[in-house]
Amino acid sequence: MNYSFIYNTIKYLKRKQIFYQFLYRVYSPKYQAFSAPDIVSPIIFKAEPIAREKCLNGCTFTFLNLSHKFSGWNFTDNGMLWAYNQNYFDWINQKGLPKEEVCRWIDQFITELSGNKVGLDPYPIALRGINWIKFFCLHPECSTKEREDSLYSQYRLLESKLEYHLLGNHLLEDAFSLTIGGHYFNDERMKRKGTKLLLHELKEEILPDGAHYEQSPMYHCILLDRLLDTYNITGYTQLIPFAQSMLGHLESICYSDGTWPFFNDAALGIAPMPEDIKDYARRLGITWEALPLKECGYRKMQSGRMEAFVDVGNIKATYQPGHSHADSLTFELRIDGRPFIVDTGISTYDKNARRQHERSTAAHNTVTSRGRNSSEVWGGFRVGKRCKVTCTKDEGQCIEAEHNGFGLVHRRKFSINDDPFVVSDSCKAEDCVAHLHFAPTTGDILIDDNIIHTPLADVKVTGENTSIVLADCEVSTEYNIKLKSKEARISFDGECVVTIEVKSNVLNT
């Protein structure tokens, strides 16, 4: 056990987190049966919510690209995140699923709830509550007394074990759900508690530039969709400014094709896509304007045929960095809308060697020294000592920043002006390696002297004692999918300049 990691992790926690970490270890509230209020709110959606992708076929569930025939709510052989997805009940809002089939699954869940350890965790309760309410609003004839009593009892359990020990997106999801549950059940106490917590967390977690402070585009989309659902169900106008702010950020964090960079924990197939979210907001009558990227630490650089996102920010959710990576000063680059230099993404939330690698500095397009991480990522979702990033120049076409993650300073300059895109590194640490991960679709990659030739662009390397090694790597755009690709590892002493030039004979497609 590395006690330095533990100390440097705990010192960033809030006192409330530490208190509840101890409390929930000695006191675990139990599920109790309550009678739901006699009258629930008749809710008519202002707009149809975003439909979910098909996850259930017969008795077989498919989550995270893994399929399994139902064998109980506590099935964890595919990982805890898979088990959570089964208990979220997000899948009851998929297209074409008969309401009679949904009712059978709900009744089976209620019957087996006492032995369902996974389903009684607060996070699944929160998400399941929203999904059941959305279903009952669309199909009020399915809202029986037994189902209402069970749902209300689950909400009472959620109230007693709100995730103050974690905070971050977990507590925000609890707040969304408690607000919706209190509104649906006409429970004024629950409604006040949920709304107060929700507004507090939105003020805490949404940065001035509209980004969610955990700095994951995927979670930003998840939480924005949830915010729109909450407004759709409750009609609370005080939520509109937060929605407008998050939509403004979403407008700026996307490439020209509407997709986002894979910074921190981010994968496809989990959150609704940005265009679906924006369509939903328009149907709700919400308008917004793009907000410039600032506090989130990301910057977009675009010129000619090139489009890049760079990361020059610090960890913002200092007390909840579970979805942060040791990726300071990394970048992604697209040419003619096609991925060229890519983040390697995430394929798992299991606490294993693969998870550790995917959060490491070496898995990103930045510099390592003696193989060390710029910040101490460990334990699957922990960060100990973290580097400090300082942005020293921010002028759109030229961005400079530095961090102190190796005990010495790593400086990096990004510049773009039509063609080329240039990344200049200065680092006096030992055994420096600049990593470049190519998109799996890049094609043949050859090294000739200090030039990396690809079908789309040439990558020229200059600097002190530079050498290039081409290695195999894996890139993930979705959970449990790893695509074979290539990584250039550029060793250098002190200074290194990488110049990426589009080949003139490649058509702009």
What is the per-residue pLDDT across 255-312, written as a single tens digit (0 to 9) for each?
A: 999 999 999 999 999 999 999 999 999 999 999 999 999 999 999 999 989 999 999 9
Q: How far apart are the C-alpha atoms of 131 and 116, rounded to whole Å?
A: 18
pLDDT value for 407? 85
What per-residue confidence (pLDDT) applies to 348? 97
* Inside any domain, residue 325: yes
* pLDDT score for 393: 97
Tell me: do 108 and 139 sit in the same domain.
yes
Q: For residue 339, give both structure tokens.
A: 């991925």
Burial class (CB in 10 A: 0-12, 13-18, 19+), 405: buried
pLDDT band at 53 (very low <50, low <70, confident <90, very high): confident
Task: Name the CA radius of gyration of the chain, rounded.
Answer: 24
- Token pair listed for 338: 């096609």
8 A C-beta contact, residue 260 and residue 254: yes
CA 257, distance to chain mean position in Å, is 19
Question: What single DSSP character describes residue 13?
Answer: S
Residue 44 CB burial class (10 angstroms; 0-12, 13-18, ≥19): exposed
Q: For residues 422 and 16, give the distance between their C-alpha atoms in angstroms, rounded to a whole number.
A: 45
- Classify residue 509: in a domain, yes or no: no
What's the pLDDT score for residue 507?
Answer: 58
Provide the mean pLDDT of the chain. 96
Task: Kindly state whether residue 13 falls inside one of the protein's structural domains.
Answer: no
CA-to-CA dists, residue 168 to 213, 229, 380, angstroms: 8, 19, 16
Residue 198 and residue 214 in one domain: no
- pLDDT score recorded for residue 245: 98
DSSP letter for 361, please: G
User: Looking at the predicted structure, is the pLDDT value of residue 1 above 80?
Assistant: no
pLDDT in tens, 298-355: 999 999 899 999 999 999 999 999 999 999 999 999 999 999 999 999 999 999 999 9
Q: Which residue, 294, 318, 338, sits at the end of a domain? A: 294
- The span from the CA of 360 to the CA of 352, in Å, is 13
The answer on 168 and 196 residing in a single domain is yes
370 within a domain of the structure (yes/no): yes
What's the sign of the alpha-carbon dihedral 363, 308, 262, 454?
negative
Six-digit token pair at 241? 């400014």
Lowest mean pLDDT among 92-96, 291-295, 501-505: 501-505
In a shared domain, residues 309 and 162: no
pLDDT of residue 3: 79
Sign of CA dihedral 151, 157, 163, 164: positive
Q: Domain end: 268, 294, 320, which one?
A: 294
pLDDT value at position 506? Answer: 61
Q: At what angle do helices 99-111 and 145-160 cross, to 10 degrees?
A: 60
Which of residues 250, 266, 294 is at a domain's end? 294
pLDDT(228) > 90: yes
pLDDT digits (tens, 9 = 90+) for 27-52: 989 999 999 998 888 888 999 999 98
43, part of any domain: no
* 457 plus 349 within the same structural domain: yes
The band of 392, judged by pLDDT with boundaries at 50, 70 and 90, is very high
| Residue 30, SS3 per DSSP | coil
Q: At what angle do helices 217-234 and 240-252 cross, to 10 degrees?
A: 150
What pLDDT score was predicted for residue 233?
Answer: 96
How many whole angstroms separate alpha carbon 243 and alpha carbon 199?
12
Q: Give the position of tokens 């107060």.
A: 196
> How far apart (Å, rounded) are the C-alpha atoms in residues 313 and 484?
29
The distance in angstroms from the start CA to the end CA of the chain is 52
Q: Are 490 and 464 in contact (CB under 8 A)?
A: no
Residue 376 confidence (pLDDT): 96
**What is the extent of the structural domain holding 442?**
298-502
> Based on the structure, what is the number of domains in the chain?
3
Give the pTM. Answer: 0.96
| High-pLDDT (> 90) share of the chain, % | 92
**Average pLDDT rounded to a whole number, residues 469-485:** 98
Q: Which of 410, 368, 408 is nearest to 392 (CA)?
A: 410
Residues 172, 266 within the same domain: no
Beta strand extents in 349-480 (DSSP E only): 367-369, 377-378, 382-383, 389-394, 398-403, 410-416, 421-437, 446-448, 451-453, 457-463, 467-478
Bond before 272 cis per omega within 30 degrees: no
- On whether both 147 and 260 belong to a single domain, the answer is no
User: Shortest CA distance to 380 belongs to which of 422, 321, 443, 437?
Assistant: 321
Answer whether residue 509 shows pLDDT above 60. Answer: no
* Statement to judge: residues 161 and 201 lie in one domain: yes
Q: Are residues 481 and 352 in the same domain?
A: yes
Report yes or no on 431 lying in a domain: yes
pLDDT tens string 126-158: 999 999 999 999 999 999 999 999 999 999 999
Average pLDDT over residues 169-178: 98
Torsion over CA of 254, 256, 258 and 264, rounded to 10 degrees?
Answer: -30
3-state class of 124 per DSSP? Answer: helix
